[in-house]
A and B are shown apart, each in its own frame.
Chain A
Amino acid sequence: MTEFCQRCQTEAAKVHVTEIDKDGGKVLLHLCEGCAKGHGLPASTPPTVLAVFKELVDKASTVSRTRDRQCPECGITFAEFKAKGRFGCAHDYDAFLARVVPLLERVHGASEHLGPGDAVAAAAVPDPSATASGAAPAAPAPVLPPPARKSAADQAAQELKRLRRELVRVVKSEAYEEAARLRDRIQALEKDLAKGFEVDG
């Protein structure tokens, strides 16, 4: 049985609000999404923790379904790559970007190639075990275009994907405290992304 909006009487009431009036009495409001907005209310009832979980798990499982998508060029899946440890073509690095970046971070402690131009920076890094007989190699490094800095938004988007996957994992293992923590981080990141991400260093 559909309950209609108390205001417009035409749309289904989806927002249910209990307001406290001046005298401390409760007023129950049943509004449709449009009228709720006009009333200065969020378009839906604040979601319960469970609902948030469900939504996030749904989103995350979309991610996990796309996880097995193929590289459009060579057709390899990430699972195949993981099994063999070898990529199928140069496009895989972009096709699986969200998973490649954390992988590279783990293996190399970095996810960006440094061109030959950082020799000065490298020399400036204090070396606790230097013997003063330091080699000052002047080998010409392979020529490459300077690496494009990754935007903070890209990073945030990737982090978001990672967190969503992590959430699915912890929800499955019923680690709800951890899940709640992840949910908060996901929501915060989503908010940041929505309003234009600012780098915090």
Chain B
Amino acid sequence: MAESPRDWFASTDSAGDWMAVDGPDHDIVVTTRIRLARNVAGFPFRARLDAAKARAVESHLAERLKKLLFERHCISKDLARELDGPRAVFFSRRKNLSVMVNEEDHLRLQVLGPGRSPEALLEQLCDLDARIGAQVAYATHPRFGHLTSCPTNVGTGLRISVMLHLPALVWSKEIEKVFDAAGKMKLAVRGYHGEGTSYVGDFFQVSNQVTLGKSVDRLLADVTKVLPKLVDWERDVRRGVRKEKTRTLEDRIWRAYGVLRHARRMTSTEAIELLSSVRLGVCLGLLPQLPLRLVNELLVLSQPAHVQLLAGRELDDDSRDLARADYLRKRLAETG
């Protein structure tokens, strides 16, 4: 409780275990994120939740969650804040598990892990769901399952998102085929920040599009069965590019590293794009001095909100770009 949210987010190790680079296929699969959307029976959804009722939902849940999670030493943070009504976020000590209260749904349970590890993560999340479900009456329907604010989440309330780094597929323009294939398999491919974001820095989130009419196991299988294919595909193309366009590839990677090391002003989009090239370089063994974990961290910490947290104040666009470039230079200089 002593640590303020700002310290917590901004401390360099705060990125948490999910940043680790020991997950399966971590050179291509950056993270796996799974969430469950739940609502509490007897309360209106967010769209019709007035301040008083929102407070009631928050205290109803906080009371149970705190008890449930603190007792098990699972949750160490309560970042309750009054932003757009009473909301709260609970994090596990290892920071990979979070419970958000009064987001789009009353409850969003989320788990984040490094690399391709959805089975274990899902088990963890379902366990948490069962424990919360034993204390809280969820809004369910005999036909539709778990009821959610948005009908795109109804049924299981489950979204499995796997963040992939596919620079070679983007480079070779084969990424279009990935989109086609994913669409046919009812999987959504989204950009770096998820829903409604454009593709930046060759990072893509692959997730299940439907949540209703399939079991949790089936939804998991739908996502997991395509991952090894995508990973192999990207690896193949990486090998090809490395063999046939060695100089071009090396130039791109070193150029990106050089700009990150020395630039004085940088937008978040440019940072992601350059870090993407550098990440590829690290994975191909071209930048041996640079730990992959650092690159993963920088991808997160160079985002606007994090840059401001690191600076300790709100910044306008230009000062943010200056602060970002400073931070990246400093962190990369540490590695020599």
Report the bound CA distance from A144 to B142 in whole Å: 8
Whether the Cβ atoms of B212 and A113 lie closer than 8 Å is yes
- Neighbouring B residues of A148 by C-beta, 8 Å: 142-143
8 Å CB contacts to B: which residues of A117-141?
117-119, 122, 125, 127, 129-131, 133-135, 137-141
Q: Are B220 and A139 in contact (CB under 8 A)?
A: yes
Interchain nearest-CB distance for A122 vs B (Å)? 4
With contacts A74-B44, A104-B212, A111-B212 taken as known, whether A90 is within 8 angstroms of B229 at the C-beta atoms is no
Residue in chain A with minimal CB distance to B154: A104
Known: A107-B152, A113-B156. A93 touches B141 (CB 8 A): yes
Partner of B119, one of A74, A117, A135: A135
Contacts of A198 in B (CB 8 A): none
Are B210 and A110 in touch, CB under 8 angstroms?
yes
Which B positions have Cβ atoms within 8 angstroms of A?
Answer: 36, 39, 41, 43-48, 104, 118-119, 122-123, 126-127, 129-130, 133, 139-152, 154-157, 185-186, 210-218, 220-221, 224-226, 228-229
A118 and B215 in contact (CB under 8 A), knowing A75-B48, A108-B210?
yes
Contacts of B142 in A (CB 8 A): 145, 147-148
- Give chain B nearest CB distance to A167 CB in angstroms: 25
- Of A26-34, A54-62, A81-89, A175-183, the one contacting chain B is A81-89
Contact of B133 among A100, A104, A142, A150 (CB under 8 A): A142
Q: How many Cβ-Cβ contacts under 8 Å join chain A to chain B? A: 175
Q: By the criterion CB–CB under 8 Å, are B149 and A87 in contact?
A: yes
B47 and A142: CB pair below 8 A?
no
Q: Given the interface contacts A107-B152, A138-B123, A145-B142, does A88 sit within 8 Å of B228 by beta carbon?
A: no
What residue of chain A has the Cβ atom nearest to residue B152's Cβ?
Answer: A107
Residues of A within 8 A of B145 (CB): 113, 115, 144, 147
Please name 20 further chain A to chain B contacts, defined as beta carbons within 8 Å, in addition to the given A129-B225, A142-B126, sorted by A numbering.
A88-B47, A90-B45, A90-B139, A107-B152, A108-B212, A111-B143, A113-B144, A113-B154, A114-B218, A129-B226, A135-B225, A139-B123, A140-B127, A141-B156, A142-B157, A142-B216, A143-B133, A145-B140, A148-B143, A150-B143
Chain A residue at minimal CB-CB distance from B48: A88
| A103 at interface, CB cutoff 8 A | yes
Q: Which 10 pairs between the two chains have the least Cβ-Cβ distance?
A: A110-B213, A113-B145, A88-B48, A122-B218, A108-B212, A141-B216, A90-B139, A89-B44, A135-B224, A108-B210
A142-B130 contact in complex given A113-B212, A118-B215, C-beta closer than 8 Å: yes
Q: Is B149 in contact with A108, judged by CB distance below 8 angstroms?
A: no
> Cβ of B217: which chain A residues have Cβ within 8 Å of it?
116, 118-119, 122, 137, 139, 141
Asked if A170 is at the interface of the complex by the 8 Å CB criterion, the answer is no
Is A109's beta carbon under 8 Å from chain B?
A: yes
Query: Once bound together, how far apart are the Cα atoms of A70 and B330, in whole Å?
Result: 58
Separation of A100 and B141 alpha carbons in the complex (Å):
13
Q: A119-B215, A131-B229 are known contacts. Are A74 and B146 too (CB-CB below 8 A)?
A: no
Contacts of B140 in A (CB 8 A): 144-145
Across the interface, do B215 and A116 meet the contact criterion of CB distance under 8 Å? yes
**A76 contacts partner chain B, Cβ-Cβ < 8 Å:** yes
Tell me which residues across on chain A come within 8 A of B155, comparing CB atoms: 108, 113-114
A115: B residues at CB distance < 8 A: 145, 215
Q: Which residues in A have their C-beta under 8 angstroms from that of B150?
A: 85-87
Would you give the shortest CB distance from B231 to chain A, in whole angstroms? 11
Q: List 20 A-B contacts (CB under 8 A).
A: A86-B45, A87-B148, A87-B150, A88-B47, A93-B147, A104-B151, A107-B152, A107-B212, A109-B186, A110-B212, A113-B156, A113-B212, A115-B215, A129-B185, A134-B221, A135-B221, A138-B119, A142-B129, A145-B142, A147-B145
Residues of B close to A143: CB separation below 8 A: 130, 133
Bound Cα distance A142, B156 (Å): 8
Query: How far is A143 from B216 in the complex, measured between Cα atoms in Å?
Result: 11
Check A111 against B141 for contact (C-beta < 8 Å). no
Q: Is A184 an interface residue (CB 8 A)?
A: no
A68 interface hit (Cβ, 8 Å): no
Indicate if the CB atoms of B143 and A113 lie closer than 8 Å: yes
Cβ-defined partner of B228 (8 Å) among A116, A133, A140, A147: A133
| Minimum Cβ distance to chain A for residue B214 (Å) | 6
- Interchain CB contact under 8 A, A140 and B225: no
Question: Smallest Cβ distance from A105 to chain B, in angstroms?
Answer: 9
Please state if A107 and B210 are interface contacts (CB–CB under 8 Å).
yes
Residue A112 CB within 8 A of the other chain: yes
Complex formed: what's the CA distance from A80 to B127 in Å?
36
**Given the contacts A87-B150, A111-B213, A141 and B126 also touching, CB distance less than 8 Å:** yes
A contact residues around B228 at 8 Å (CB): 131, 133
Report Cα–Cα, A193/B150, bound state, in Å. 32
A73 in contact (CB, < 8 A): yes
Q: CA separation between A170 and B229, bound complex, in Å?
A: 47
Option from A86, A117, A131 in Cβ contact (under 8 Å) with B149:
A86
Q: Write out the residue numbers on chain B whose beta carbons fall within 8 Å of the beta carbon of A113.
A: 141, 143-146, 154-156, 212-213
